[in-house]
Amino acid sequence: MEGPSLTQGHGQLRNDLARIASWIEPGSRVLDLGCGDGELLAHLRDERQVNGAGVEIDDHSVIACVRRGVNVIQQNLEEGLALFDARQFDTVVLSQTLQSMHHTEHILREMARVARYGVVSFPNFGYWPHGWAILRGRMPVTGQMPYAWYNTPNIHLCTLRDFESLARQLGLRILERATFNHDREVRLLPGWRSTLALYRFAAG
């Protein structure tokens, strides 16, 4: 199923992706896992002179990457990142895909192995309307999680505290966090008010 669009009119990156781009050092090596049509990597290449590569499983998205001139490998992320060497990249990005992975701990460990820094983003299950929906006896359906319970690709939902706890268990050092409610950044009570969380972490 198709995820949220990378752009928000006139070719401009969404605010969350613009924040991810701002965390990437110019001229660095970047691996984008689940890179979609390659728009983020193309932006990083053109605006920050990044040497990037993507991993994507969808045929149409791979073709779109090739048309953008983005280096892409067609592979299922669940099979791991064994084809990449340790510290082959400076930063590895996993944008709005963590919640759909079957082996969450494994992919985070692999991210820490292949790059010095990792960036992840995921829907915040702690967003307060989700709790209200559950109190009414229904699974939440919101803009960030638009699927019904029976057709959702999201299998491992978490809150901000859940992710931070897992990061500590895996020895990942969180460097930066940003939270958004749709296209607006949230700073007050982000655990309750944000729909999307972004983290930048260091491996060990």
Rounded to whole angstroms, the Cα distance separating 183 from 196 reads 10
Contacts 24+ apart (CB under 8 A), 189-192: 190/124, 190/160, 191/124, 191/126, 191/159, 191/160, 191/161, 192/126, 192/127, 192/128
Nearest to residue 113, comparing CAs of 57, 171, 45, 53? Answer: 171
> What confidence score (pLDDT) does residue 2 get?
36
Average of pLDDT values for 187-200? 94
pLDDT at residue 137 greater than cutoff 90: no
**Six-digit token string for 40:** 């983020």
pLDDT at residue 188 greater than cutoff 50: yes
Provide the whole-model pTM: 0.87
Nearest to residue 175, comparing CAs of 6, 13, 24, 18? Answer: 24
Per-domain boundaries in the chain: 15-203
Nearest to residue 172, comparing CAs of 111, 125, 84? Answer: 111
- Which residues share a beta bridge with 197? 122, 179
Note the CATH number of domain 15-203. 3.40.50.150
